[in-house]
Amino acid sequence: MIVKPWYAQLWPWILISIPFSAVVFGFVMFYLADVHRDDLVTDSYYKEGMTINRTLMMDHQAENLKIRATLKDIGQGKIVFTIENATDSAIQLSLFHVSSSEEDKVVALVPEEGYDYSIEDLEIESLLSTQGVWYVELKGTDSHWRLRKRVVTPLSELEMVPTVVGLDLHGVSKES
- Domain chopping of the chain, boundaries: 8-35, 67-168
Cα–Cα distance between 72 and 77 in angstroms, integer? 14
What are the E-state strand segments in the chain? 68-75, 78-84, 91-97, 105-111, 116-120, 132-140, 146-153, 159-160, 165-167, 173-175
| Cβ atoms within 10 Å of 74's Cβ, excluding its own | 19
Pick the CATH number of 67-168 from 2.60.40, 3.10.450, 2.30.30, 4.10.280: 2.60.40
Collapsing DSSP states into helix, strand and coil, what is residue 130? coil
Look at residues 139, 135, 156 and name the one whose alpha carbon lies nearest to residue 79.
156
Three-state DSSP state, 147? strand
| Eight-state DSSP code of residue 135 | E
User: What confidence score (pLDDT) does residue 170 get?
Assistant: 43
Give the C-alpha separation, 140 to 60, whole Å: 13
User: What pLDDT does 174 receive?
Assistant: 53
CA 99 to centroid of chain Cα atoms: 6
Cα–Cα dist 114/5, whole Å: 90
Residues making up the chain, counted from first to last? 176
The reported pLDDT for the residue numbered 167 is 45
Look at residue 136 in the predicted model and tell me its pLDDT: 93
pLDDT of residue 72: 86
| Cα 77–Cα 81–Cα 146 angle in degrees, nearest 5 | 125
CA 128/CA 130 separation, integer angstroms:
6
**Number of neighbouring beta carbons within 10 Å of residue 117:** 23
The low-confidence residues of the chain, meaning pLDDT below 70, are: 38-42, 143, 165-176
